[in-house]
Structure 1
Amino acid sequence: MEKILYREGFTAEELPNEVIERIKGVSYKENPHVKLGDLAYLRVRYYDFEHKVQSGELIVARKLAQEVLDILYELFEGGYEIEKIRLVDEYDADDERSMADNNSSAFNYRVVAGTNTISAHSYGRAIDINPLINPYIVGNKVMPANATEYADRDKAFEHKIDRTDLCYCIFRRHGWKWGGDWNNSKDYQHFYKEYDSPLKMAVNKLKRALLR
């Protein structure tokens, strides 16, 4: 893919060699489902919790690169705060460690916690936002383990993702789904884009254009 120069500080490109070296054997494992060429490397800008501008990096599905740049740019323009955006490889691809540090990330070839199902993160089709404050809850288990104070979603606190939150509104407008809408578990940090048929993609694109 040609490098996308979206806005100042917002770019997408095929995985540079130095990034490939960083992720091989860590977040990227040899597998029959996802090739390195299926992924794209993004640089984005965001506001941290002190509302200072920072630069972050993400790996997402190559086909979603432009769309993710759109979403992150809209969040930036809206002044939305994200504590940090780092590759999960900085945590040895340990999802619990990354979440516990409130790191927002995307690609990580792994299974869904507690299952044998390959996660949407494995395809670069999911992004977790401020995961410490917006934990994954299944039964009485809260992940990350240090997020119990944020498990009660009736409480008011900063950076909470709910259906009124700007992050939720922007992701949903782009056709992404939210783990907070699940019935048997709740993944409040988790936004994901399912595979669509070409016809469905065209219809959804038209719907989003009408909503703008």
Structure 2
Amino acid sequence: MRVRLLCVSAVLLTGCGAAAPTVSASTAASATAASATAASAAASSLAARPLESVASPASASALPAPSDFTVVETAVTAADLPHSWRDGCPVGPADLRRLELSHWGFDGRARTGILIVHRDAAGDLRSVFAALWREKFPIRLLRPVDEYGGSDDDSMAADNTSAFNCRNAVSTGPPRWSAHAYGRAVDVNPVENPYLISGRVLPPAGAQYTDRANVRPGMAVAGGPLVRAFEAVGWTWGGRWSAPDYQHFSQNGR
């Protein structure tokens, strides 16, 4: 990234890798000073911005479009999880990792997204998303649920693929932690893969995808690339449950 940015700056002034045109000393000094001032301002701006403002749905295009599959894994802190984590959650920020992953959009273009997952699930998800990249399986959005204020409903309505969220399971039984609260579950393309429970369709926009025999892009189907990728690393697909949760894949079977 830094090499590319420096190269772009060089192109603006001289052309990357080309001989520099002759300029006066005063002109060169002015250009150098302007470039240094701009670089300093950009660095200060990035340093001041929190994670949720850097990686928000509106700024998704700010992440570079990859030319090949890449993964960048970094640690997270409580400050990175202002809406999805709180004291009393079953795992702490030190147990979680931020994965910046390549994926394909529904428009066929390469994109970069972000998942927050348990550190023990990171390796599995690297393999899963590498397989989905090879298959060119489309994913609408790949953003932390914090960008939706920690609201699972809002994240699903946006057709956002997400993982960690310290919340209870959506079920008819007694309250219990969801696998998402441990960072050990991923919901993929919720609109194309709705959760059918107690006569409800979650999210409601998923009603047009309840006919699972009518296979369309982004859907999870038995034997399809999405289900195969997760089952290859031993994860469970909720689409086989009595109350099918087609979007849900979990490491612990819950």
- Place the TM-score, normalised by the shorter chain, in its bin: 0.7 to 0.9
User: Aligned residue for 1:207?
Assistant: none
Counterparts of 1:18-37 in structure 2, within 5 Å, are 20-24=78-82, 26-31=83-88, 33-37=90-94
1:140 partnered with 2:212 = no
In 2: Cα distance, 1:63 partner to 1:131 partner: 24
Q: How far apart, in 2, do the equivalents of 1:33 and 1:46 lie?
A: 29
- Are 1:62 and 2:124 counterparts? no
Shift of 1:156: 3.2
Letter of the structure 1 residue corresponding to residue 72 of structure 2: T
Secondary structure at the aligned position of 2:246 is classed as strand
CA offset at residue 43 of structure 1? 0.5
Question: How far 1:171 sits from its partner (Å)?
Answer: 0.4
Q: Which amino acid aligns with 1:174?
A: V
Q: What's the counterpart of residue 193 of structure 1?
A: 251
Aligned to 1:152: 211
Tell which structure's C-alpha radius of gyration is larger: 2
**Alignment CA distance shift 1:8-1:143 (3 Å):** closer
Contact 2:167 2:178 in 1 (8 A): yes
- More strand per residue: 1 or 2? 1
Cα distance in 2, alignment partners of residues 50 and 84 from structure 1: 12
Q: Which residue of 2 aligns with 1:90?
A: 147
Could you tell me whether the CA contact under 8 Å between 2:139 and 2:161 is conserved in 1? yes
Structure 2 CA distance for partners of 1:156 and 1:64, relative to 1, 3 Å: closer
User: For 1:44-55, what aligned pairs fall within 5 Å after superposition?
Assistant: 44-55=101-112
The TM-score normalised by the length of structure 1 is 0.82
Per the TM alignment, residue 8 of structure 1 is displaced from its structure 2 partner at its CA by 5.8
Considering only aligned residues, what root-mean-square deviation do their CA atoms show, in Å? 1.6
**1:38 CA drift (Å):** 0.9
Match of 2:236 in 1: 177
**Is 1:162 paired with 2:221?**
yes
Q: What is the rounded CA distance, in whole Å, between the counterparts of 1:98 and 1:161 in structure 2?
A: 18
Q: Aligned equivalents of 2:139 and 2:92: distance in 1?
A: 29
Q: Which residue of 2 aligns with 1:12?
A: 73
Give the gaps of 5 or more residues in structure 2: 1-67
Q: 2:69·2:133 contact (CA, 8 Å) conserved in 1?
A: no
Contact 2:138 2:217 in 1 (8 A): no
The superposition leaves residues 16-74 of structure 1 with CA deviations (integer Å, 9 ceiling, x where unpaired) of x5xx42313x0111115211111111110000000111110111111111221111111
Give yes or no for contact 2:105–2:139 (8 Å, CA) kept in 1: yes
Q: Match for residue 95 of structure 2?
A: 38
Distance in 1, matches of 2:141 and 2:233, equals 22
State whether residues 136 and 143 of structure 1, in contact with CA within 8 Å, keep that contact through their aligned partners in structure 2: yes
Amino acid at match of 2:154: R
More helix by share: 2
Over residues 98-150 of structure 1, what are the superposed CA-to-partner deviations in whole Å (9 max), with x where a residue is unaligned? 11111000000001125511100000000011111100001311101222111
Question: TM-score normalised to the size of structure 2?
Answer: 0.69
Q: Check 1:32–1:191 CA distance in 2 against 1; reply closer, same or farther (3 A cut).
A: closer
What's the % identity of the aligned pairs? Answer: 32
CA contact (8 A) 1:104 1:129 kept: yes
* Aligned 8 A contact 1:11 1:69 in 2: no
Distance 1:187 1:161 in 2: 10
| 8 Å CA contact 1:57, 1:85 repeated in 2 | yes
